Amino acid sequence: MFFRRVLQAITIGACASLSLANPIDLNELGLQPEKRADPSLVGYLGAIFLGADPYVYFYLSNGNDPLSFKSLNGGQPILRPTKGTGGVRDPYLVQGGGAEAGKKWYIIGTDLNIASTTWDAAQRTGSRGIFVWDTSDLTTFSGERLVEVEDASAGMVWAPEAIWDAAKGQYLVHWASKFYAASDTAHTGSPSNIRIRYAYTSDFKTFSAPQTYIDYAPTNIIDLDILPLDTAGKSYLRFMKDETAKTVFLEYTTGGLFGTWTRAGGSSGTITSGVEGPAAYRDNKDDAKVHVLLDFYGGDGYRPYESTDPEANQWAASARTAFPSNLRHGSILPINQTLYDSLSAKWSS
């Protein structure tokens, strides 16, 4: 199977001397893709929002358990935006790449406070920018900014995420937008389907002109989440929501970010329905296991799923005995001991 072939191709000793937290790009070190069961990774950090509270909340794993999390900062937000709509949804922890690997991270998110608007208005005349914060240690944040990434024909920018593209030497940032005719400046007419767009950046301040990454018209696609399986930039899983059918499905590739993608489980394969906001991460201790959180937005928020054969679309609901309820669309970042300790020291409840 695809996932097992990827794991078999990984050099077992490649990460023995690594001290970085979940490095993305090791090409500059001359290494082959590292074995993912990395002893330097001792836990997981989640950046989440909580339904009616569109701010950034942190959750830290209880030890190296991928399914057991505790709130940090006494359950209060880590970040509250001061710009745009005053609300940030879908917070995403961006792992530094290239020269920034292990030295810098970013948090990006959707500029949307639904309490001050409607879903229709948010898709017609919503924000065309993304929130960005910088951090060198995941405990202090600076440089809050709201950066416009879409053109005037777009109705909104939703669920931005970013991944280091080693082949390009920049971050690929992607999001979901729908569009209106150039003559429809007020966006009162019928829009296009929602598609995934992307741009490149080196600093999350200046972005290239946006382009279309995924367009499955007439299907509306939102909430793209890409999970790298190697550091060579070839093998990936990508999860996304079919907004029309209200399902999340998975695609895989061995051809890079712009290679040929295959839908897991065939053309109609889905993980489950009534969900959105997939947040995927690999297990720190089990090379063969992938986790994905799926947001049951009409119910109790995130529920965890796991698989050792994702390309066959074989998923099972994980045990939830220590997994919090009512967490919404966010992201999970595997972390090393230094980061785990500093997060615990600053924000433990």
pLDDT digits (tens, 9 = 90+) for 95-120: 999 999 999 999 999 999 999 999 99
Give me the domain span that covers residue 301. Answer: 2-12+21-347
| pLDDT > 80? residue 28 | no
- In this prediction, residue 5 has a pLDDT band, given cuts at 50, 70 and 90, of low
- In this prediction, residue 299 has a pLDDT band, given cuts at 50, 70 and 90, of confident
pLDDT of res. 52: 82
Q: How many domains does the chain have?
A: 1
- In this prediction, residue 231 has a pLDDT band, given cuts at 50, 70 and 90, of confident
**For residues 4-28, average pLDDT:** 40
pLDDT of res. 230: 87
pLDDT digits (tens, 9 = 90+) for 168-211: 999 999 999 999 999 999 999 999 999 999 999 999 999 999 99
| pLDDT > 80? residue 8 | no
Distance CA 106, CA 158 (A): 17
Q: Are 121 and 48 in contact (CB under 8 A)?
A: no
pLDDT of res. 36: 63
- Give the global pTM: 0.90
pLDDT of res. 204: 98
Report CA torsion sign: 166, 194, 204, 77: negative
Instruction: Report which residue type is found at 198.
Output: Y
**For residues 73-101, average pLDDT:** 96
Q: Which residues contact 237 (CB under 8 A, 6 or more apart)?
A: 226, 227, 229, 250, 251, 252, 280, 290, 310
| pLDDT > 50? residue 157 | yes
Q: Cis peptide before 218, with omega less than 30 degrees from 0?
A: yes
**For residues 15-28, average pLDDT:** 36
pLDDT of res. 25: 37
CATH number at residue 253: 2.115.10.20
Token duo for residue 34: 């590292």
**Secondary structure class of 310 (helix, strand, coil):** helix
**What is the full DSSP assignment across 68-133?**
-EEEBGGG--SB---STTS-EEEEEEEEP-GGGTTT-EEEEEEE--GGGS-HHHHHHS---EEEEE
Distance CA 269, CA 283 (A): 23
Q: What percent of the chain has pLDDT over 70?
A: 89
